[in-house]
Amino acid sequence: MTIVDDNKRIERIQAIGILRYGLDWMAKMAAAAGLSRTTMSSIVSGRRRLTEDTFQKIVAGIDKDLEVAEVNIAKAKAIRAKLK
């Protein structure tokens, strides 16, 4: 990976984090990935390199969290349908 590739990955991680959690995304995404907020902050700020292992942990955390979100959305839709 090059620095440019890492920067693109970090930009995409930030975008997903903000879309999923809002402006206070970093701690929540870090927890989902099994990382500390400090580690996530260091990566995003460029003080720490985004290793492939850490990247894979973040992706796995995103995938797991999105699966939970999809289940919760389906449940909310089912409940919403009963409000008619």
Give the CATH fold of the 3-81 domain.
Answer: 434 Repressor (Amino-terminal Domain) (1.10.260)
Q: What is the pTM of this model?
A: 0.83
Q: Give the pLDDT score at 1.
A: 60
pLDDT in tens, the chain (84 residues): 676 688 999 999 999 999 999 999 999 999 999 999 999 999 999 999 999 999 999 999 999 999 999 999 999 999 999 997
C-alpha dist (Å) from residue 82 to 2, 20, 71, 74: 51, 26, 17, 13
Please write down the HEC assignment for all residues of 22-63: CCCHHHHHHHHHCCCHHHHHHHHHCCCCCCHHHHHHHHHHHH
pLDDT of 84: 77
